[in-house]
Chain A
Amino acid sequence: MYCLGIEGTAWNFSVAVVDEKDVIVLVNEPYIPREGGIHPREASQHHAEKVKDVLTKVFSKVSPEKIDLISFSQGPGMGPCLRIAATVARVLALKLGLPLVGVNHCLAHLEVGRWKTGAKNPVTLYVSGGNTQVIARRGNRYRVFGETLDIGVGNALDKLARYMGLKHPGGPKIEKLAEKGKKFYKLPYSVKGMDLSFSGLVTAAQKLYDSGISKEDVAYSFQETAFAMLTEVTERAMAYLNIDEALLVGGVGANKRLQEMLKIMCEERGARFYAPPKELMVDNGAMIAYLGLLMYKHGYETSIEESAIKPDFRIDEVEILWD
């Protein structure tokens, strides 16, 4: 069965086709702001402009007649961006006469991670621009055991990068700089139970930079602090739930130092660490297609009337009907 999935919650307009075994085609059109961070309306205009190109590329690999199902990211995300993805999905479903499934973007990250790594019942650390959550399954729901109380860690990295004059996306640039950092400066380490906070950390790091400390050392100190916080809450959830698998998903998960820290933590507790390949870690259409396929096979279908976007869609709203 072929499912075409459309992702458009924020910076990436991405369409993919998957079957039960693998990703058949994946086409990305990332929005890169000329300056500053992601502007929702500009991003949605970018997505709208790229629809034709992206679909043409996808259909050159898999012809429309072969598609059995359409899925799209219904939320959470930026309203204007979500609307583009939802509109494209509805049009394709009606035009091709195919069933439609609206999926939760966070759940898609998690399930594509399990699909491609073989993790069975992990504690998942989901880290991206807008989201930072520690998630595990309990019965028929995924539950959020810990999360950021203010901004996502990716957003925090971007803010710091912008402040130091680096262009969006800031995460990879901070990672490069941090590799050359030598001296660690103390920054606020904010873990409350299994919850986290990053905004104080950003402000303190900005002040550090203002005081004349090199970009490299600021980046290094920031990463070491923020990622230790993330690793700690992941470990706490693992200890609390008695789970011996950790799965890392979301765009910030591409960071090698974060991967390394989680790996060391898992080794120390005799647990296994999993991370999907980078192209499936960042926002992408393949994860939307895969989750659409999985949900459809378990009885889910979204009528046009129910296909309105859900900007605040939470992962625990979805009943999990599969293993």
Chain B
Amino acid sequence: MGLNEENELEKVYIGGEAIVKIYRDRVEKIRKKKKYRIDELDEAIRKYRTKHEAKILSIARKAGVPTPIVLDVREDTIIMEKIEGTPLKDIINKSLSRKVGELVAKLHDANIIHGDITPLNLILKDNKIYFVDFGLSFIEDRIEPKGVDIHVYFESLKASFDNWKELKEAFIDGYKKYKKWKEVLERVKEIEGRGRYIERKEKKSFNVSSL
């Protein structure tokens, strides 16, 4: 692997926390130094998260969820296999959304909270759906973060697809493979009802006088 051959670089994404460089044959995720943090803290965070994400990628794969293979981990960089396929956002349908539900059931059964499930982060290749970004993931056995995890997915469906309702139903179908599905979905409903997620209130808070 010619790791320094910049001409192989195809795309760069700059996120809030990391830079993702997509090469012809691999993906590099680099957690760059943040100047606002003091060095001791900054190094500890970047090292920990890099190691942690690489670990979760492999735990998820062991749990039966397709993820890119980690080729190398350095202090602040994960080098992983490039998944060449189609982002789910371009092709999502009921059967794919059901499959996402089944895979999230597997993640949650392994107590992996993905943290950012959207059709943008999922790639279909050889009839398998790959979860490629575990940058916000953590391990937790409580119901609440699992509910938030699913809520994030539903919100992303709502924002991008007109048929979000059937995609949501299909996901729920697939998710029923997780033994605590009922509890989690009840929590999702509760989260939807919380103030921060209310888009539009039926009742106005104030009187609007005729202008």
Report A's interface with B, CB cutoff 8 A. Answer: 101-102, 141, 143-144, 147, 184, 186, 189, 192-193, 224-225, 228, 231-232, 235-240, 260-262, 264-265, 268, 295, 299-303, 306, 312-314, 316-319
**Contacts known (A265-B34, A295-B206, A300-B206); A314 close to B136, Cβ less than 8 A:** no
Interface 9-residue window, one of B14-22, B83-91, B122-130, B177-185: B14-22
Contacts of A143 in B (CB 8 A): 196
How many inter-chain contacts with C-beta < 8 Å in the A-B complex?
Answer: 98
Contacts of B44 in A (CB 8 A): 186
* Most chain A CB inside 10 Å of its own CB: which residue of B36, B200, B205, B209: B36
**Contacts known (A268-B35, A299-B209, A301-B209); A319 close to B138, Cβ less than 8 A:** no
Interface of B is mostly: loop
Report the bound CA distance from A312 to B115 in whole Å.
Answer: 27
Contacts of B45 in A (CB 8 A): 189, 228
Contact assessment for A316 and B204 in the assembled complex, using a CB-CB cutoff below 8 Å:
no
- Given A239-B17, A261-B36, A301-B207, 12 extra CB contacts under 8 A: A143-B196, A192-B136, A193-B136, A193-B148, A193-B152, A228-B41, A232-B34, A268-B35, A299-B211, A300-B207, A301-B209, A316-B198
Partner of B204, one of A193, A231, A319: A319
Interface residues of B in 143-160 (CB under 8 A from A): 145, 148, 152
Contacts of A141 in B (CB 8 A): 199-200
Q: Can you offer 12 A-B residue contacts whose CB atoms are under 8 A?
A: A147-B196, A184-B40, A236-B16, A236-B17, A238-B16, A240-B16, A265-B35, A299-B211, A300-B207, A303-B207, A314-B196, A319-B205
**Contacts known (A239-B15, A314-B196); A299 close to B208, Cβ less than 8 A:** yes
Instruction: For A227, give the chain B residue with the smallest CB separation.
Output: B36
